[in-house]
Amino acid sequence: MPRQAWVYIVECADGTLYTGWSYDVAQRVAAHNAGQGARYTRGRTPVRLRWCEAHPTRRAAMQREAALKKLRRTAKWRLIEGGVDANGRNS
C-alpha cells in the first residue's frame, strides 16, 4: 500500500510562496528552516506553512504540485484562504 503524500505551500520570510511535496510536511518545513530544504528557500528563511493537502500516492502529489506551480500568486493565495476548490477553480 502506498504511503500518503502531501502537497504544501510555505510562505518565505520575503513574502514569496514555495510549493512542494513530502511524505512528512512538518519534517520538510523544519528542513527548509534549517537551510537543508530546496535551494529556493535557503536564503528566504524562516518559512511558514500556509497550506497542505493529502494525496494517496507520491505520483498524485507530484502531479498536484506541478499544477499548483503553474498558478499565479493570487490564485495560490485564494487557495490558501479557502477560496478555490481542489482543482484550482473558484468555489
What does the pLDDT look like over 12-58, one tens digit per residue? 999 999 999 999 999 999 999 999 989 999 999 999 999 999 999 99
Q: What is the pTM of this model?
A: 0.88
Q: Which residue, among 68, 17, 66, 80, has the nearest Cα to 44 in the 3D structure?
A: 17
What does the block give as the cell for 79?
487557495
Domain map (residue ranges) of the chain:
5-80
Asked if 82 contacts 49 with a C-beta cutoff of 8 angstroms, the reply is no
Confidence of residue 62 (pLDDT cuts 50, 70, 90): very high
Q: What's the gap between Cα 91 and its chain centre? A: 20
> Is pLDDT of 90 > 90?
no
Which fold is adopted by the domain 5-80? Answer: GIY-YIG endonuclease (3.40.1440)
Asked whether 9 and 50 are in contact (CB, 8 A), the reply is yes
If we measure between CA atoms, which residue out of 45, 23, 49, 22 comes closest to residue 32? 45
